[in-house]
Amino acid sequence: MGNSNLALWVARALSTLFVLFTGVFGGAIASRARIGDPLFSHVLFGAYLGLFAWGGLWLRDPSLRAVFPVRPAAIRPSPPPPLPR
């Protein structure tokens, strides 16, 4: 029982930590862009980490999925058949 409570507490603490790290990733992006590092390998690495962290939180937390829902593309109905003359 104690280990499961610890695991639940750590999971909640890590989700808060991931949100705080988003600011750190933004600072890393800004400093790398200022230095002039390559875009896709160095500058956007913080964005990649941020996307993975937020994606994991989105998959795990139903309240976050309610805020950012993924909707399927709207299906357009086919036009009606022409009227007979």
Question: In this predicted structure, what is the pLDDT of residue 75?
Answer: 65
**Ordered DSSP codes for 5-16:** HHHHHHHHHHHH
Global pTM reads 0.56
Mean pLDDT by 10 residues, the chain (85 residues): 60 71 80 85 83 83 80 68 80
Question: In this predicted structure, what is the pLDDT of residue 57?
Answer: 81
Question: In this predicted structure, what is the pLDDT of residue 73?
Answer: 54
Question: In this predicted structure, what is the pLDDT of residue 9?
Answer: 63
| Kind plus residue range of the DSSP H or E element containing 17 | helix 2-35
